[in-house]
Chain A
């Protein structure tokens, strides 16, 4: 009891993961795991706001669908940005890339010629 009294003002250090949160929203938690989530909500305004918002989404299936769509869009946008950055780099410094390519071609050519010479001798 005394220990719990001391703990009222200490913030919960349990990180609630997305699966636990989904279980909470679906009403699948009870006992200690349920209390862990609610204890974290009481200590953490971010989690509390999120739960209140997610509870207002009618279907819990929609929540997972929205999350999947948002994640897919996020990764697509990051990949696009990466490609754009690569293209921009190519445009800005084309000679550097041409020089590297030239060196590689010369090396291959030298290798082929040396090999041919060695074989004929």
Chain B
């Protein structure tokens, strides 16, 4: 059964058992997110339980459509609030935290394929050396993070960062070109 079907069953019956099945699918991911932000295993486990309670309480109040994105937002905000309470100041949002590239796949389908390809080639060439190298190795040669780290001498974190920033910059460059064409 898909997440969407479980959610529908929950909204139809208001039985929390459906939520139990749905939430269980996300326990591992939630534990990981809480660990990333809070760094302490015990604290992360408590935090996951608090997120469960929050989800069970909040989900009935309005109709959620994209559960995965919604629960990620709930989890991240909950962790950031905990960090703020602990340190007395808002946690700095890293690039990764702000990564919001979950655009609908295929949203650019209206672009002509040839035009798109030409722009992609140009945008890729315009990327910084490290980002270009990592994007090519990862997306075009389908190499793993570890392989890329060994080949380039970057750390794993640097590899991930170059890939993510490279993709984001590619997207920005493509959007810029699309805007220029529209004008």
Chain A residues near B182 (CB-CB < 8 A): none
CB pair B31–A63 under 8 Å, yes or no, is yes
Asked whether A96 is an interface residue with its Cβ less than 8 Å from the other chain, the reply is no
Interface centre among A51, A71, A77, A78 (most CB of B within 10 A): A78
Asked whether A49 is an interface residue with its Cβ less than 8 Å from the other chain, the reply is yes
CB pair A78–B17 under 8 Å, yes or no, is yes
CB within 8 Å of B: which residues of A? 1-2, 4-11, 13, 18, 21-22, 30, 32, 34-35, 38-39, 41-54, 56-57, 62-63, 66-67, 69-71, 73-75, 77-78, 81-82
Chain B interface SS verdict (over half)? helix
CB pair A18–B36 under 8 Å, yes or no, is no
CB distance from A4 to the nearest CB of B (A): 5
A50 to B69, CA, bound (A): 13
Contact of B24 (CB < 8 Å), options: A22, A63, A71:
A71
Contact of B29 (CB < 8 Å), options: A10, A38, A50, A66:
A50
Counting from the closest, the 5 A-B pairs by CB-CB distance are: A50-B32, A53-B35, A53-B36, A53-B32, A54-B32
A35 to B148, CA, bound (A): 12
B174 and chain A: residue at smallest CB distance: A9
CB distance from B150 to the nearest CB of A (A): 14
CB pair A78–B19 under 8 Å, yes or no, is yes
CB pair B113–A9 under 8 Å, yes or no, is no
CB distance from A113 to the nearest CB of B (A): 40
Asked whether B158 is an interface residue with its Cβ less than 8 Å from the other chain, the reply is no
CB pair B120–A6 under 8 Å, yes or no, is yes
In the complex with contacts A45-B72, A48-B160, A5-B140 CB distance below 8 A: yes
CB pair B41–A75 under 8 Å, yes or no, is no
CB pair B35–A18 under 8 Å, yes or no, is no
The contact string, 1 if C-beta is below 8 Å from chain A, for chain B 19-34, is 1100111011111111
